[in-house]
Structure 1
Amino acid sequence: MSSTTGTPGTPGSGTDQTGPYEDRKPASDEARSAFTPPLGVPYPATPEEEHPTSEFALPQGLRPEAPAEQEGSAFAPPGSTTGQTPLPSSSTTGGFAFTPPHGIPIISLTKEAPWQDRARTMLRMPVHERPIPERIERTDETGPAVPRVLDLTLRIGEILLAGGEGAEDVEAAMFGVAHAYELERVEPTVTFTLLSISYQPSLVDDPVTASRTVRRRGVDYTRLSAVFRLVDDITSEGITLEEAYRGLAEIRRNRHPYPSWGLTLASGLLSGGASMLVGGGLLVFVAAAVGSMLGDRLAWLASGRGLPEFYQFVVAAMPPAAMGVAFGLAHANVQASAVITGGLFALIPGRALVAGVQDGLTGYYITASARLLEVGYLIVGIVVGVISVLYGGNVLDPGLRRLAPEQGLPVYNEPLVQIAAAMLLALAFCVLLQQERHTVLFATLNGGVAWVIYGVLVNADLDPVVGTAIAAGLVGLFGQLLSRYRYASALPYVTAAIGPLLPGSATYFGLLNFAQGNMQEGLTSLIKAVSLALAIAVGVNLGGEVARLFLRGPGMAEPGIGRRAAKRTRGF
């Protein structure tokens, strides 16, 4: 009895499959190949013809991975997270709601709050956290055209930036207008001369971007206040786009409230009032006023000839300095230094300085650098004009005792006269800034209060820089209060009121020391002037921030509406 040898359980063996191989199907004779291996060579365990496999198959003993999730959009929220609690669903958005670690604050955006607060609240929020604009019921399906909304927004921002408004307030106005016309994903950007705004309809659509350049600047706070009222009507009253365009065109057509001769007279009154602050009499008042008015007319002439603003300041600074030098050469019993100091008050760019420091404190460093550079150029123009005249006077008479820096200005302590002079100075500033007539009284009183506070603090032996900062802070606080309850800009109530605090005397004596070769003393005086100017700017900004932080406006549930500060590193 013959038998076939082979490995048990292998194909080709004549024995039955037993043991662990009993489940296998016996190989039939018909399934054998013509290429049967010789005796002693076993068959492969699993023929490839009967059990085809892939070279990428997992080795035996490894568990297969879980099936991957179905591929979706890159912008879709994940369905679950490994090792974390599933995200809660949101019935309002139709998907999953994302909650940041610090939570999403509850924001009150009532129409009764000033539009500046509502816009500032959303301006620094991420796009996905901003509230959706309130939809206006329309009879037609299409809303306002996006390019026209962006154009209106840029035109409004141009007027505000050219009028001296801070970069943050300009961005807030632009954002408020665009948001009022239902543009959700909008990002305004403001620099010193360029405004741009970008709108993205959705995450998959191309953005629409428009820009506008501010080439000419003019001081007209009446127009500035009108633009603020227009923005308030757009954001609160919901006027149509055509009505907004008509209102903007009417603002541009309006003439300045004061004629050019009124501005020249106001410049003279400003310098005369400033000379009285430092102890000048009636003759000094007249001399300072005449010198300032001559300088103003020369500046208008240079402007009409197309000369840059730098040269306008050079020629405007010469007549007041010439008046003081003339009194010194004549050896008249007149405080020539008070004449020149009064003339400098009308030229110091306090408005641009405050705006530049405010932009820096609020995180707009590019705009702040450009504004401060502009202030530097204008001050250099004043320096060139005054020093050229003082140098000529020293050449004619080296012993100008009336202009000797060591004599300085005598201590003058006449509260009633100085308060009246400070209010006159603030009143003249209001006219030069082309303010509305109903704001002049408040700004004038604010300037008088600022001088009273400064005088009390300095007479109490407090450092002048600290006293200036405190007085300027109260000016900013009062101005912010008035602007919030009138839904207007704070500049008309603040800029003129800081006029009595400007460092005119410190600037003059620094220039005089430079003209006479006393570099160290001149540098000391100019550093003091810069310190006083920065104290004014920081104080004004701090007063406004205090008003926003702790004071309630109409319709606000909490003191002030939250405005996110820019994230900053701590020294690294």
Structure 2
Amino acid sequence: MTETREIQRTLDIALRVGDMLLANGAGAADVTATMSSIAHQLGLRQALVDVTFTTVHISYQSGPDEPAVAATRHVKQRETDFDDLTRVDHLVRDLLSDEIDLDEARIRLAQIASTGHRTPRWAVTLSWGAIGAGVAMLIGGDWIVTLIAAVAAICLEILQRWLSRLRLPFFYAQVAGGLFASLLAVGASAAHISTDPSLVITASIVMLLAGLGFIGAIQDALTDFYVTAVARILEVMISTVGVIVGVSGGLTVGRLVGVDINLDPGAAGLSHLPLVVAGGALSAAAFAFAAYAPSRVLLPIAAIAGVASGIYLVLSENDLGRAWPAAIAAIFIGLVSYTVASRAQVPPLVIVVSGIVPLLPGLSIYRGLSLLGADDYTGILQMITAAAIAISLAAGVILGEYVAQPLRREAHRLEQRLAGPRLVGPLRARAVRKASKRGNMHSM
């Protein structure tokens, strides 16, 4: 391929795919590998790809005496959209398997970028209420806490959407969200509603925590994209600090008006195990729905998150601390999600991010804030615990993915060896499809 126009068209589609992947939370290593694979498939054997936080760059030089052709895109809008992520993933697979050509890939990519969502906005807003209700169940809240948390989550979603239209920096939206959640709890306590306001705050701020960004940051750090990793970690820290500032402001207002907020809310015990499993399943599936995940994957996400929540509760109740149970539950999510994602035909990131939502350390963050607000510096230990849980979650799911890939390859080889005696079922069907493909190739 030597024509400049064709080179530019190839670089453009690789760049646009990388843009959409990075905007939806994919790690820099995944974006780089995908862009390089597309360029190689379309004839550019040694295209150079560079991903740095919000910038995607690709260049190609056909020969030592030829000028290099380069293109760069800046990711302007970053949001969690699992529908676009899945559709782009399918497009890339079809392109790499020669099922579509460059022109059709460009058309499909333009359709993905310009097509709106089939899910109505009101349904997404209600799903955020389901997230709040699920988290309230997860931490052992009663029906009053669950109801208030659901209302708070709906109001938080509307508030943050309105603030985003004002083009305010995301930090201020996080401050407003944390402040609203804590003031709602203060108001409920002042109205003498028989509930634990600390549980309301904890259930409300979980939806503000940056789980997707932290997974991407740890993945970038583990795959040697250190500049991007540092930038993403800083972004996550600023986002979390915004929540901390908002909640701290609300607690201060509560103390000024004489409302006593419990500084050490109780956590769910083993007696709450069924409620915890149900809450984890509900919050994870609702988050996936709110992020426009395909409906076929909602039930598997609920099952995985429910089991992971149960694993975390059982292990944490056996004096293993908080970080190790979170890591083990996250490894389980990473291991299972790789196989489930393949069956459901979605990227593993869809299942991983949704699955860790119930495990985000909202309770530890609230405890740390409350203790620090009361001049008790043991709150610093709670904040360190929250950071340790977040790192354990991100590192755990990535480790689970690393372990799952070779295991799946070995299982696939075993399938091929055992497929002979099977006369019906998926293994036999897969063998028939492969034989059919080989026959078609020979006939050509």
**TM-score strictly above 0.5:** yes
What is the count of residue pairs matched by the alignment? Answer: 415
Q: Give the match for residue 343 of structure 1.
A: 204
Change (3 A) 1:509 1:533: same
Deviation string 1:177-234 (CA, Å, 9 cap, x unpaired) is 1011011111111111110111121233332211111111121110100001100111
Provide Cα deviations, 1:74-124, integer angstroms capped at 9, x if missing partner: xxxxxxxxxxxxxxxxxxxxxxxxxxxxxxxxxxxxxxxxxxxxxxxxxxx
Could you tell me how far apart the structure 2 residues matched to 1:484 and 1:206 are?
41
Partner of 2:408: 551
Kindly provide the amino acid, as one letter, of the partner of residue 285 in structure 2. L
Q: Secondary structure at the match of 1:552?
A: helix
Residue in structure 2 matched with residue 295 of structure 1 by the alignment: 156
Aligned equivalent of 1:458: 316
Quote the offset at 1:404 in angstroms.
3.0
Q: Aligned partners of 1:471 and 1:192: how far apart in 2?
A: 28
Question: Where does structure 1 differ by over 6 angstroms across 4 or more consecutive aligned residues?
Answer: 141-144, 553-557
Structure 1 residues 177 and 554: alpha-carbon distance in aligned structure 2, compared to 1, 3 A threshold: farther
Tell me, in whole angstroms, the C-alpha distance in 2 between the residues paired with 1:555 and 1:211: 39
Q: Please tell me whether the aligned partners of residues 36 and 48 of structure 2 are also in contact (alpha carbons under 8 angstroms).
A: yes
Find the counterpart in structure 1 of residue 9 from structure 2.
148
> What aligned pairs does 1:389-538 form with structure 2 within 5 A after superposition?
389-397=250-258, 400=260, 403-405=261-263, 407-412=264-269, 413-484=271-342, 488-518=346-376, 520-538=377-395
Which structure is larger by alpha-carbon Rg, 1 or 2?
1
For the structure 1 residues 410 and 197, does the alpha-carbon distance in structure 2 shift closer, same or farther, using more than 3 Å as the test?
closer
Q: Distance in 1 between matches of 2:371 and 2:321?
A: 23
Q: In structure 2, how many angstroms separate the alpha carbons of the residues matched to 1:554 and 1:234?
A: 26
Instruction: Give me the TM-score of the superposition, normalised by structure 2.
Output: 0.89
Distance in 1 between residues matched to 2:79 and 2:33, nearest whole Å: 21
> What TM-score, normalized to structure 1?
0.69
Deviation at 1:361, TM superposition (A): 0.9
1:535/1:510 Cα in 2 relative to 1: closer, same or farther (>3 Å)?
same
Q: Which amino acid aligns with 2:71?
A: A
Task: Structure 1 unaligned segments of length 5 or more: list them.
Answer: 1-134, 136-140, 558-572
Instruction: Please point out which of 316, 334, 339 is paired with 2:177.
Output: 316
Structure 2 portions without partners, runs of 5+: 415-444
**Aligned equivalents of 1:381, 1:322: Cα separation in 2:** 15
- For the 8 Å contact 1:228–1:487, the answer to whether it is kept is no
Change (3 A) 1:548 1:411: closer
| Contact 1:144–1:241 (Cα < 8 Å) also in 2 | no
Assess if the C-alpha contact under 8 Å between 2:61 and 2:68 holds in 1.
yes
Q: Does 1:222 align with 2:83?
A: yes
Separation of aligned partners in 2, 1:450 and 1:554: 23
Alignment of 1:180-329 (within 5 A): 180-329=41-190
**2:380 is aligned with what amino acid?**
L
Shift of the 144–237 alpha-carbon distance from structure 1 to 2, 3 Å rule, reads farther
Aligned-pair distance for 1:334? 0.9
Whole-Å separation in 1 of the counterparts to 2:197 and 2:346: 41
Instruction: Return the letter of the residue paired with 1:476.
Output: G
**Displacement after TM superposition at 1:484 (Å):** 4.1
Query: CA–CA distance in 2 between the matches of 1:350 and 1:414?
Result: 25
User: For residues 206 and 504 of structure 1, do their structure 2 counterparts lie closer, same or farther at Cα, with a shift above 3 Å needed?
Assistant: same
Deviation at 1:142, TM superposition (A): 7.1
> Is the CA contact (8 Å cut-off) linking 1:422 and 1:451 kept in structure 2?
yes
Query: 1:374-426, CA deviations, whole angstroms, 9 ceiling, x for partnerless residues?
Result: 101111111121111110111111x61xx232x43155331111111111111
Tell whether the 8 Å contact from 1:275 to 1:339 is kept in structure 2 after alignment. yes
Counterpart position of 1:362: 223
Q: Aligned runs of 1:42-57 on 2, under 5 Å?
A: none
State the Cα distance separating 1:465 from its structure 2 match: 1.0
Q: Which moved more, 1:192-201 or 1:457-466?
A: 457-466
After TM superposition, list the pairs within 5 Å mapping 1:19-38 onto structure 2: none
